[in-house]
Amino acid sequence: MAFEFTDSNFQEAALEGDKLAVVDFWAEWCGPCRMVTPIIEELANDYDGKAVIGKVNVDHNPEVSMKYGVRSIPTILFIKNGEVVDKHVGTASKASLEEKINSFI
């Protein structure tokens, strides 16, 4: 199951962890976000123990969304060693996300 990133746990879970963090910024009302959700869930299962893959609800967590300049959703950040190493805006295929994840782990 995808990890739930929040304003309160983001620092520890995404920035201070020793694994790649893949963070999907989304909202319930966003149609394209709903298309990406099952892919994020699958990737979270596929990469369990290798990467932390999860979601940030932008409506409930405005601080982290503003900090990273998320203006369009879905936005997916790839964070390694506390730094954003890649960013994808819009929908994406599972294969393209896997390719990015594999290049960072």
Compute the distance between CA of residue 61 and CA of residue 1 in angstroms, rounded to an integer: 19
Q: What pTM did the predictor assign?
A: 0.95
Q: For the chain, what is the domain count?
A: 1
> Which range of residues forms the domain containing residue 62?
3-104
Instruction: Give every CB contact of residue 11 below 8 A, 6+ residues apart in sequence.
Output: none
Q: Which long-range contacts (CB under 8 A, 24 or more apart) does 8-11 make?
A: 10/56, 10/61, 10/64
Residue 6 is predicted with a pLDDT of: 97
Side by side, which strands form the sheet with 83-89?
Answer: 3-4, 51-57, 20-26, 75-80, 83-89
Catalytic residues: 30, 33
The 10s digit of each residue's pLDDT in 8-64 is 999 999 999 899 999 999 999 999 999 999 999 999 999 999 999 999 999 999 999
